[in-house]
A = this chain, B = another copy of it.
Amino acid sequence: MKLVRYLRDGAERTGAVVDGHVLDLGDTPLVELLADDTRQGDVRAQIQRADAAALPPLDPAALRAPVVPGKILCLGYNYRGHVPDGVDPTADDPDFPDVFVKTPNTLAGPADPVVVPAVATDVDYEGELAVVIGRRAHRVPLEDALDHVAGYSILDDVSDRAWQRRQSQWALGKCFDGFAPLGPHLVTPDEVGDAADLLVEVIRDGEVTVSQSTATTIFPVAYVIHYLSQVMTLQPGDVISTGTPQKLPAAQAAHRPLEAGDAVTVRIARIGELTTTFTAPPEASA
C-alpha cells in the first residue's frame, strides 16, 4: 500500500493511492491504521474494493508529510565510499552508528518549498531512505526489529554546512525550520520487500548527483532499529533516516550551495520520488 496524508477542504486526511487516484481513509493518522493486522486488513480490503476511475486524482500539491514524528533520528556516515578494486570496502567501517536528531520544526511536507534561511550560506541536500516506526520498540532483538516498521518514505536531510561545522555537534546546521521534507507517501514493507538493496538517486536541477544502493549501507535497517531501541523507546510515527550516499565525484566537484530557485529530487527504487524546491525567505523575516 501507498498511503498519504493530504488536505481536503482544509482538513488533513489519510488516503491510499490507487492507480494515481486517492481513496479517502478518514482522518485517523496513518500509523494508527497500520497499528495491527486487523486494521491493516481492513484498509487492504477497502483498497481492493475501490474503483480507481471513480476516485479523485491525487493532487501532489495537497500532500502533507505522511507522519508527524515525535523523533526524527538521522544517521551520519552510514554509506561506504567507492574503493578501488581489491580494497576491502568494509575496512573503514565504524563500530557504531553515528546518530543525530532533527527537531520537530524541521518537518516539511512533500509539497512545501524549503526556505533558504537568510543566515545560511552553505545549504546542502542529502537524499535518504526514511524508516517509519509502526509499533513501539524498546530493546527489540535484531531478528524482530523489522516487525516494528510501518513503512518507508523519503527524507531530504537538508543542512547548512557552515552552521553544522561551527561546533562539535551538528544540531544547528541540521535544525533550521523546514529542513526535513518527508514524503511523498509511506510505502508498506510488503511492497518494498527487502529494503537492503534499493537504488537511491538524487537529481539536482536535472543532473544525477547521487546514485548508490542501500546495499552499501554499513548498518542496515534492522540493526539500526535494534540498536536505537537499546537506548530509547521508539514510538509509532518516529522516523529514522538512514543516511546519505556520497555525491558522485563530478557532482561533488561541481557542487555549489543550494539557492532559491533550485530543485532537488530524491528517487528511491520501489519507494518513489520526493522533489523539494528551495525558496527565499518571506520579505518580513528576510
A169-B76 contact given A104-B70, A138-B285, CB 8 Å threshold: yes
Q: Which residues of B contact A171 (CB under 8 A)?
A: 73, 99-101
How distant is the Cα of A99 from the Cα of B171 in the complex, in angstroms?
Answer: 6
Q: Would you call A38 an interface residue if the criterion is a C-beta within 8 Å of the partner chain's C-beta atoms?
A: no
Give the residues in chain B near A170, CB-CB below 8 Å: 169
Across the A-B interface, give the 5 residue pairs with the lowest CB-CB distance, nearest first: A98-B167, A101-B101, A96-B166, A100-B169, A71-B103
Chain B residues within 8 Å of A143, by CB? none
Interface string of A150-179 (1 = CB under 8 A from B): 000000000000010011111110011100
A101 close to B103 (CB less than 8 A): yes
Please give, as numbers and ranges, the residues of chain B lying within 8 Å of A106 by CB-CB distance: 232
Known A99-B171, A169-B170, A177-B231; 13 more pairs at CB < 8 Å: A71-B104, A94-B167, A96-B166, A97-B167, A99-B172, A100-B101, A106-B232, A117-B231, A163-B231, A175-B231, A175-B232, A176-B232, A177-B233
CA separation between A95 and B138, bound complex, in Å? 39
Contacts of A235 in B (CB 8 A): 105
Interface size class of A (residues with CB under 8 A): 35 or more
Known: A104-B71, A232-B105. A168 touches B168 (CB 8 A): yes
Does A121 lie at the interface of the complex (its beta carbon under 8 Å from any beta carbon of B)?
A: no
Can you pick out 18 interface pairs between chain A and chain B where the beta carbons lie within 8 Å of each other? A70-B104, A73-B171, A76-B169, A99-B167, A99-B169, A99-B171, A101-B101, A101-B175, A105-B233, A117-B230, A119-B231, A163-B231, A172-B228, A172-B231, A175-B231, A175-B232, A177-B232, A177-B233
B70 with A167: CB separation less than 8 A: no
Verify if A247 is at the interface (C-beta below 8 Å from B). Answer: no
Complexed CA–CA distance, A196 and B103 (Å): 27
Q: Is A105 within 8 A of B71, CB to CB?
A: yes
Residues of B within 8 Å of A105, CB to CB, are 70-71, 232-233, 235
Q: Is the Cβ of B117 less than 8 Å from the Cβ of A167?
A: no
Q: Check A139 for interface membership: any CB of B closer than 8 A.
A: yes
A170 to B76, CA, bound (A): 12
**Least CB separation from A228: chain B residue:** B172
| B76, B103, B228, B233: the one within 8 Å of A232 (CB) | B103
Q: Which residues of B contact A172 (CB under 8 A)?
A: 99, 228, 231
- In Å, the complex CA distance between A105 and B229 comes to 12
User: Which residues of A (26-41) have their CB < 8 Å from a CB of B?
Assistant: none
